[in-house]
Chains A and B, each alone.
Chain A
Amino acid sequence: MSLPLLDIRGLAVTIPTRDGEQAAVSNVDFTIDRGEVVGLVGESGSGKSLSMLAVMGLLPRHLHVSGSIRFDGVEICGAPERQMRSLRGRRIAMVFQDPMTALNPVKTIGAQISEMIRLHNPKLGRAEVKERALALLESVAIPAPERRFDQYPHEFSGGMRQRVVIAIAIANDPELLIADEPTTALDVTIQAQIMEIFARLRAERGMAVVLITHDLGLVAGLADRMSVLYAGRVAERGPVGPVFTAPRHPYTAGLLAAVPSIDDVAERLYAIPGTPPSLGARPPGCAFAPRCDFAVPLCRMSEPALLRFGSAVVACHRAEELSLGDLPRKEA
């Protein structure tokens, strides 16, 4: 296999607090190939957004990032701002969760898209820039782009704004698009439209997409592979099919069983007891052990290593022996 487009090894992000440095992300490995869609799944605080902001070089300065982040073979972890600036928006782009705050309210949509095009192509003429901006609006299915070009963000609905944000992100045909909860703030029917745009971008432009989400349904629909993060570490990683049908980590299995199904009615849902540990309150051993139905004394003592099982990689002491097909529907 050729070099992966993005290759993250042993990524750690620590946050200084009153009680010393706390690891919000530790030892995260992550790869994505060209044209691939990888889902990054986890609950709030699991470190999924932090890891990707580290890739973009967008973390606040006081956070400490270590490990290796290689983009197209070049190390970018700790790269100087000048180097990052030439990558961001040109080769790697990001779409954020909230389209209401991602746009500048006092500039027209057209000006904001044109700005992005001009930034990385300073020699283009005014007419060419506008032509490309209009083509972009059209590629994200905004009707009447000519009229929309001169409008302001407040004249757009939430779904339309998210399309504009995507249009800006793909303005320079990036090789990698990081989408951080791109549809969480949107309605289901609008979500379906946005997911369709992602699928098309990947098919037409061979764009790789990291889809950060807590919605397993979206991952199932679009992704080839997925990584499940828990408390800043990878719990399980593998191709989407096997992970969904035969999860090996109790947390993955729990997440899958906790989601109610639209086409089958279970009397009770599986509820994972407790809540994820907060920063700095990470239990010793396996971070999931206090909430795990299958924990044994070993789990509370030593941190499980990521080991390969078939096509997936799992961090669980009992991954080999457990059968997680049918979790008990028990009391929370």
Chain B
Amino acid sequence: MTNAVAAAPGPLLDVADLHVAFPVRRGIVFARQVGAISAVAGVSLHVHPGETLSVVGESGCGKSTLARAIMGLIKPTSGHIRLRSAELAVLSPAAMRPHRRTIQLVFQNPYACLNPRMTALENIAEPLRMLPLSRAERRERALRAMQQVQLLPEQADRYPFAFSGGQRQRIGIARALVVEPDIIILDEPVSALDVSVQAGVLNLLKDIQQRTGIAYIFIAHNLAVIRHMSDRVAVMYLGRIVETAARDDLYRSPAHPYTQALLSAAPIPDPVREQARQRIVLTGDVPNPADRPSGCGFRTRCFRASALCAVEDPPARELAPGHTVCCHHPS
């Protein structure tokens, strides 16, 4: 891709203390705000050019809200989103527009994210309408993007229904690639696909990254897929990042009890090891974000919780360079 990787070693994207809260309203005529659900509650993360940062967490942890806030699709309540040197969190939609070319989003459901009345090529070329390009140039760039995702030029004029799930997801990826962004946010890009098709899409994403030096924020819940894709991993629980580390550090020595439970709950396709494994089975469900427990958000399900955890929210502490955890009792 033409965008040169920034010469400075600074991060491409820097998110600091981001909060996104949704108001809870009661009443119809005299509607008033009675509370707020804080979906993202103080998230800081950064992404360097060409790297993959994965965000893992269960449903309702705020990972998709985080993605939408970074994309500027939801206005954050407070915090900073810096892309290179531009501050995105304060921009109006119009002022945001020039930056949209740098950052793109691929959605989870390849059946819902394409316009069924546009051909594959039209779907892919659509984001280019915001750039000053001629019709021929748009077509040429869209065809090039199709090629990048290994779709054939003769498939260009078919409509989405004629494609399988895996191929539709490739169209979705091509549509993100076509504006030559520096970073793509992939929100559960393979979880709707069959196992045999998943691998092809994952390989493709890795190839594109190697060829173009693009950065990814890879949002997923499958820990095996995340291990395969990431350079660094951030674990999210109830709107916060509870642990961040380089991939191998996280999988080798997870420090947060939630990370440990997630890793131990992920099924391994090997009967001997799977049946012999000691599991940490968490009790209960994720608390309602509108009614966050006092102190540490995880303490209600934590097997290491102490009296301190109910009183004080654990601050982030660095266990090793690049390995941060928010826990009073890390191990």
Question: Chain A: residues with CB nearer than 8 A to chain B?
Answer: 43-44, 143, 157-160, 187-193, 195-196, 214-221, 223, 240-241, 244, 254-256, 258-263, 265-266, 268-273, 275-276, 291, 331-332
Complex Cα distance A143/B283, Å?
10
Q: Could you tell me the distance in whole angstroms from the C-beta of A316 to the nearest C-beta in chain B?
A: 16
Q: Which residues of A sit under 8 angstroms from B194, Cβ to Cβ?
A: 43-44, 214, 275-276
Given A190-B285, A216-B195, A262-B263, 13 new contacts (CB under 8 A): A43-B195, A43-B196, A187-B286, A189-B282, A190-B58, A220-B270, A221-B275, A240-B271, A244-B269, A261-B224, A269-B203, A332-B199, A332-B203
Question: A260 near B196 (CB under 8 angstroms)?
Answer: no
Closest to B61 in A: A187
Please pick, from B203, B274, B281, the residue contacting A271 in the complex, using a CB distance under 8 A.
B203
Complex Cα distance A271/B228, Å?
14
Closest to B262 in A: A188
Question: B223 near A262 (CB under 8 angstroms)?
Answer: yes
Please pick, from A160, A256, A269, the residue contacting B202 in the complex, using a CB distance under 8 A.
A269
Closest to A332 in B: B200
Complex Cα distance A31/B271, Å?
20
Write out, one digit per residue, whether chain B residues 177-216 have a CB within 8 A of any chain A CB (1) or not (0).
0000000000000000011111110111010000000000
Judged by a CB distance under 8 angstroms, whether B321 is at the interface is: no
Name 22 A/B residue pairs within 8 A (Cβ), A-sorted. A157-B285, A188-B58, A191-B267, A193-B282, A193-B283, A214-B194, A217-B267, A220-B275, A255-B196, A258-B196, A259-B224, A260-B202, A261-B268, A262-B263, A263-B227, A265-B248, A269-B228, A272-B199, A272-B200, A275-B196, A331-B203, A332-B200
Judged by a CB distance under 8 angstroms, whether B253 is at the interface is: no
Please pick, from B203, B224, B264, B281, the residue contacting A268 in the complex, using a CB distance under 8 A.
B203
Residues facing A in B239-297 (CB within 8 A) are 247-248, 251, 261-272, 274-275, 277, 279, 281-286
Judged by a CB distance under 8 angstroms, whether B3 is at the interface is: no
Question: B265 near A191 (CB under 8 angstroms)?
Answer: yes
Complex Cα distance A216/B273, Å?
13
Q: Which residues of B sit under 8 angstroms from A265, Cβ to Cβ?
A: 227-228, 247-248
Complex Cα distance A263/B206, Å?
19
Please pick, from B166, B251, B271, B274, the residue contacting A275 in the complex, using a CB distance under 8 A.
B166
Q: Which residues of A sit under 8 angstroms from B227, Cβ to Cβ?
A: 260-263, 265
Question: B268 near A263 (CB under 8 angstroms)?
Answer: yes
Closest to A224 in B: B271
Question: A192 near B195 (CB under 8 angstroms)?
Answer: no
Question: B164 near A192 (CB under 8 angstroms)?
Answer: no
Q: A262-B251, A270-B199, A332-B150 are in contact. Are A192 and B265 (CB under 8 A)?
A: yes
Q: Could you tell me the distance in whole angstroms from the C-beta of A231 to the nearest C-beta in chain B?
A: 12
Complex Cα distance A208/B228, Å?
35
Complex Cα distance A13/B275, Å?
35
Q: Which residues of A sit under 8 angstroms from B251, Cβ to Cβ?
A: 262-263
Question: B228 near A266 (CB under 8 angstroms)?
Answer: yes
Question: B284 near A143 (CB under 8 angstroms)?
Answer: yes
Question: A275 near B164 (CB under 8 angstroms)?
Answer: yes
Question: B224 near A260 (CB under 8 angstroms)?
Answer: yes
Complex Cα distance A263/B114, Å?
35
Complex Cα distance A8/B315, Å?
58
Question: B202 near A259 (CB under 8 angstroms)?
Answer: no
Complex Cα distance A159/B283, Å?
11
Complex Cα distance A275/B275, Å?
32
Q: A260-B224, A266-B228, A271-B200 are in contact. Are A241 and B261 (CB under 8 A)?
A: no
Complex Cα distance A19/B206, Å?
41
Residues facing A in B71-86 (CB within 8 A) are none
Q: Which residues of B sit under 8 angstroms from A195, Cβ to Cβ?
A: 267
Complex Cα distance A270/B284, Å?
37
Q: A189-B261, A270-B199, A332-B204 are in contact. Are A216 and B269 (CB under 8 A)?
A: yes
Complex Cα distance A232/B290, Å?
46
Q: A254-B196, A270-B199 are in contact. Are A220 and B274 (CB under 8 A)?
A: yes
Q: Which residues of A sit under 8 angstroms from B284, Cβ to Cβ?
A: 143
Question: A189 near B262 (CB under 8 angstroms)?
Answer: yes
Complex Cα distance A254/B284, Å?
36
Judged by a CB distance under 8 angstroms, whether B59 is at the interface is: yes
Q: Which residues of A sit under 8 angstroms from B228, Cβ to Cβ?
A: 260-261, 265-266, 269
Complex Cα distance A331/B149, Å?
12
